[in-house]
Every structure is written in C-alpha cells, then in structure tokens.
C-alpha cells in the first residue's frame, strides 16, 4: 500500500498543472469575489464563507476530474488489474494523495482567506480542520464521479455526483457557522470526521467496482 501511495505521489508531483492549477484558480476566485461587489456596502464577514465553500466545491471537482483518465487510456489500469485483480488500493491511494497534495493546500488557502475577512486567529485551526475534512469528503465523491464518466467529459461527472456533494456543503456551512458563533462545533466536527472516515474507506470500494466495469 505504501508503495502504491508513493508512486501516486511521485506521479502527481510531476504533473505540476494538475495540482498547482486548482490552487491558483481557487485563489483567483477568492480574490475575484470581493472585486465584484461594493465592499463598503456589505458586511463581507457574513457571507464570504459562502464563497469559500463554493470555491471548495468547484475546485474539488476540477481537481479530481481527470483522476483516472490517464491510467485508463494508457493501459496502466489493465496492468494493475493483472497484478491486483481489484482497484481498491489504487483508488484509496489516489484519493488520499490528491487530498494531501491538493486538498490540504486548498484548505490552507481557504482558511487564510477567511482570516482576511475578519475571523479571529484563534478560530483558524478550527476552520482549517473543517475544510480539510470537507475536502476529504468532496474529493471522494467527485473521484467517484470521475470514475463513472472516465473519458466522457466533465459534464457527466458533475451531473452524476453533484447531488451527492450537496449534503457535504450543508454540513460544511453548518460547521462554519458553528465556528463563527461558537456553538456546537465539536458535535459537528465529530459528525464530519466520522462521515469523512467512513466515506474515505467505502468510496474507493465503489470506485473499484466502477473502474472494473469500464475495463470490460
């Protein structure tokens, strides 16, 4: 398992566009939003978080869109199948590496931007943890979408998995409000961490079945 993760890390690191791209786009979006409104008129603190949440959603989708295409098209998937006979390890490793290399920086960026909009320094760690587990959830779900649509393009993946992502968004919004108003944070976090771990363990299984179906 470690070796699979090491290979995936090695490959993703080499594909600079694949990990740097989403991060830069996220920064652009987070800068673009205040530029598009009259800052003096609005209390940015109140709804800037919504932009952070939406950008997390969209960028998570962008980042995972082509997760499996490459392996499918160059024959690597078949070779892996011959050795392992299933794709659980591959799916798990890929998702975890993507979360580590892209999701964690995304959460960092999101937290820093929230800081720039009136959040207390003491709340930063809580926001960061919330965002990390949200990306864990979102990356898993969108990875499933990517596995379903493989090389049929982005639209399919979105349509198929956006409904799955919406509960995560609701959860994330609730968690952020809990941080802002200081109530019920630990309960929400417990739910989020539990859901995150469960999803991270189970979704690769579904991804494995889906990839196997594509191979036939």
Give contact residues for other proteins (rule: CB under 8 A). 3, 7, 10-11, 14-15, 70, 73-76, 78-79, 81-82, 85, 144, 148-149, 152, 155-156, 159-164, 166-167, 170-171, 174, 206, 209-210, 213-216
Q: Which is nearer to other proteins, 28 or 166 (CB)?
A: 166
> Which residue matches tokens 């363990």?
201
Are 92 and 143 contacting, i.e. CB atoms less than 8 angstroms apart?
no
Nearer to other proteins, 129 or 147 (CB): 147
d(CA 124, CA 129): 9
**CA dist 25 → 37, 89, 121, 145, 173 (Å):** 19, 30, 25, 21, 21
Q: Considering the complex, state which of residue 45 and residue 213 has its C-beta at the smaller distance from other proteins.
A: 213
Q: How far is the CB of 126 from other proteins (least distance, A)?
A: 20
Other Cβ atoms closer than 10 A to 169:
18
Closest distance to other proteins from the beta carbon of 85 (Å): 8
Residue 214's closest CA among 150, 157, 155? 150
Q: How far apart are CA 90 and CA 81, in angstroms?
A: 10
Whole-angstrom distance, CA of residue 154 vs CA of residue 146: 8
Q: How far is the CB of 83 from other proteins (least distance, A)?
A: 9
CB of 134: closest distance to other proteins in angstroms? 14
Q: Which is nearer to other proteins, 16 or 39 (CB)?
A: 16
Q: How far is the CB of 114 from other proteins (least distance, A)?
A: 21
* Residue number with CB closer to other proteins (31 or 198): 198
């Amino acid at each position: 398992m470690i070796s699979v993760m090491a290979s995936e890390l090695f490959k993703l690191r080499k594909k600079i566009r694949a990990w740097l791209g989403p991060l830069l786009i996220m920064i652009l979006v987070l800068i673009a939003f205040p530029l598009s409104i009259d800052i003096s008129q609005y209390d940015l603190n109140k709804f800037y978080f919504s932009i952070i949440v939406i950008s997390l959603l969209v960028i998570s989708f962008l980042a995972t869109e082509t997760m499996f295409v490459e392996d499918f098209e160059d024959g690597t998937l078949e070779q892996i199948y011959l050795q392992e006979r299933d794709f659980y390890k591959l799916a798990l490793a890929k998702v975890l590496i993507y979360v580590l290399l892209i999701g964690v920086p995304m959460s960092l960026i999101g937290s820093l931007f929230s800081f720039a909009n009136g959040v207390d320094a003491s709340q930063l760690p809580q926001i960061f943890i919330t965002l990390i587990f949200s990306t864990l959830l979102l990356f898993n779900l969108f990875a499933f979408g990517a596995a379903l649509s493989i090389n049929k393009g982005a639209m399919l993946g979105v349509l198929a998995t956006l409904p799955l992502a919406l509960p995560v968004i609701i959860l994330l919004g609730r968690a952020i409000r809990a941080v802002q108003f200081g109530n019920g944070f630990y309960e929400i976090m417990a739910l989020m961490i539990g859901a995150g771990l469960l999803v991270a363990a189970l979704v690769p299984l579904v991804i494995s079945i889906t990839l196997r179906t594509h191979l036939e």
